[in-house]
Structure 1
Amino acid sequence: MRIGELSRETGVAIPTIKYYVREGLLPAGRLTSPNQASYDDGHVRRLRLIRGLIDVGELSVSTVREVLAAVDSPEESVHEVLGAAQHAITPRPAVTPEGVERARQAVAELIRRRGWRVGLDHPAFEKTAVALATFRGIGHGEFEEVLDDYAEACERVAAADLAWAGRNAEVDGLVESVVVGTVLGDAVLTAMRRLAHVEASARSFEDAAAEGAGGR
């Protein structure tokens, strides 16, 4: 297909497609003449992947480049690729609040207590510590009491993520599934958490209020 057909198939404007090619996100088409290139279904799939990472995953173009570089690294294990992708998509905190060292100790203890095989240099470690320190700074340090509940829920989510990705027997597809599941799964998890909040709030407060009204 020509670039115009690729644009119509994916809904991505031609100038944007050319930009992704220049930025190394999308492979160039096969030249059929000095001014014409041909694209195939692989380009369609890759372009939809790029748009998903940007539009749904809310990643920058530079971060998408790093994520796709991890996906395109067949010499690395799935575990190593996942680690590289997570480092790319987990931003370092812009600030270091007061009390962060104490929070780091709490996160390190959580990791030890849960038996997680993760290094303390992982960017998510620092992000968690900064969040906990911020909770403390605004007078909500008791949030740490639910850390193990959060950890248990996240273990179940992580297991579900990898079980879903593992359905793809081909190594290249498995790697892509793990990375895409990590990025887009974050968006799904955040949205579903909001939905669950609504239900939990209704169950805890509206039902209780109705029972109270009925008892009067």
Structure 2
Amino acid sequence: MRISELATESGVPVHTLKYYLREGLLMPGLAQSRTRADYGPEHLDRVRLVRALVEHGGVGIAGVHRIVEALDSPPPSPHEVLGVAHGALVGATEEDAPEPDADVREFVARLGWGVEDCQPIVQLLADAVLRARAAGIPLPDEDLERYALAMRAAAEVDLEVAGRARSTEEAMRIVVLGTVLVDPVLLALRRLAQTAESAARI
């Protein structure tokens, strides 16, 4: 298909597709002449991935670059796939992430999950806890731990879904898009659960 047809199929304007091409987010099409290239299903898949990351996931161009590079040269293990996905979604690397607050680091260590070194994500948690407490939500450690255990159960589902992928690339796509697009599903389920729990206590 030509770039105009790719735009129609994907719902992404031609000028945006050309930007994706310039930035290396979309691989070049098969050149037919100096001014024309053909694009296939793999281009359509890539455009939909980039669009979902940018529009729905709020991932910056640098993060999308890291994900695209990892898709083109997948890491050898599923755990490393997860690390690349998280790094891109959080928007920081281990090297440039600030040191998380000591009390949150200690809380994460007490969970016993062996994830204390995931500095960008621990900092993300620290920032969120700080904002909640500043707004008057106390979030004591015992409540945080109960939330953490609920999220561990959700993570088991995430990894089981990714584990059914037929390739590392597909697994990474599931991890990245799943994290971006399933988060709102979890939020909606939480609100439904709150309503059900509240009704059960009447």
Structure 1 and Structure 2 fold alike (TM over 0.5): yes
Larger displacement relative to structure 2 (30-39 or 135-144): 135-144
Q: 1:124 aligns with which of 121, 146, 151?
A: 121
Tell me, in whole angstroms, the C-alpha distance in 2 between the residues paired with 1:196 and 1:109: 30
Structure 1 position 82, deviation (Å): 1.4
Indicate yes or no: 2:168 matched with 1:153. Answer: no
Given the alignment of the two structures, is residue 133 of structure 1 paired with residue 130 of structure 2, yes or no? yes
Which deviates the most, 77-86 or 160-169?
A: 77-86
Structure 2 Cα separation of the partners of residues 138 and 10 of structure 1: 41
For the residues of structure 2 that align with 1:58 and 1:79, how far apart are their CA atoms?
23
- The separation in 2 between residues aligned to 1:161 and 1:126, in whole angstroms, is 22
CA-to-partner distance for each residue in 1:10-65, whole Å, 9 max, x for gaps?
A: 11111111111111111011101111100001111111111111222222333222
Alignment correspondent of 2:109: 112
Q: Aligned residue pairs: how many?
A: 196
* Matched position secondary structure for 1:132: helix
Decide whether aligned partners of structure 1 residues 8 and 87 sit closer, same or farther in structure 2, where only a CA change above 3 A counts: same
Q: What is the CA–CA distance in structure 2 between the aligned matches of 1:186 and 1:73, rounded to whole Å?
A: 26
Name the CA distance, whole Å, in 2 between partners of 1:203 and 1:185.
27
2:174 aligned partner: 177
Q: How does 1:34-183 map to 2 (within 5 A)?
A: 34-91=34-91, 101=101, 104-105=102-103, 107-183=104-180
* TM-score calculated relative to the size of structure 2: 0.83
Which one-letter code corresponds to 1:20 in the other structure?
A: Y
Rate the CA distance shift 1:138–1:17 in 2: closer, same or farther, 3 A. closer
- Which letter maps to 1:128? L
Equivalent pair of 2:32/2:38 in contact (CA under 8 Å): yes
Give the drift of 1:138: 4.2
Q: Specify the SS of the correspondent of 1:126.
A: helix
- Unaligned 5+ segments in structure 1 are 209-216
How far has the Cα of 1:83 moved from its partner? 0.9
Q: Give the alignment's Cα RMSD to 1 decimal.
A: 2.4
Task: Give the Å deviation of 1:129.
Answer: 1.7
Give 3-state SS (helix, strand or coil) of 2:114's partner: coil
Q: Structure 1 residues 36 and 134, CA, compared in 2 at 3 Å: closer, same or farther?
A: closer
> How far 1:79 sits from its partner (Å)?
1.2
Are the equivalent residues in 2 in contact too, given 1:53–1:184 (CA < 8 A)? no
Structure 1 residue 165: Cα displacement: 1.1
Counterparts of 2:75 and 2:7, CA distance in 1: 32
TM-aligned CA deviation for residue 178 of structure 1: 2.0
Cross-structure match for 1:33: 33
Separation in structure 2 between the aligned mates of residue 185 and residue 29 of structure 1, nearest angstrom: 31
Q: How far does residue 77 in structure 1 lie from its aligned partner after superposition?
A: 2.2
Match of residue 3 from structure 1: 3
Rate the CA distance shift 1:201–1:74 in 2: closer, same or farther, 3 A: same
Could you tell me how far apart the structure 1 residues matched to 2:55 and 2:127 are?
Answer: 27
What is the deviation of 1:125?
0.5
Residue 190 of structure 1 and its aligned partner are, at CA, apart by 2.8
CA contact (8 A) 2:25 2:65 kept: yes
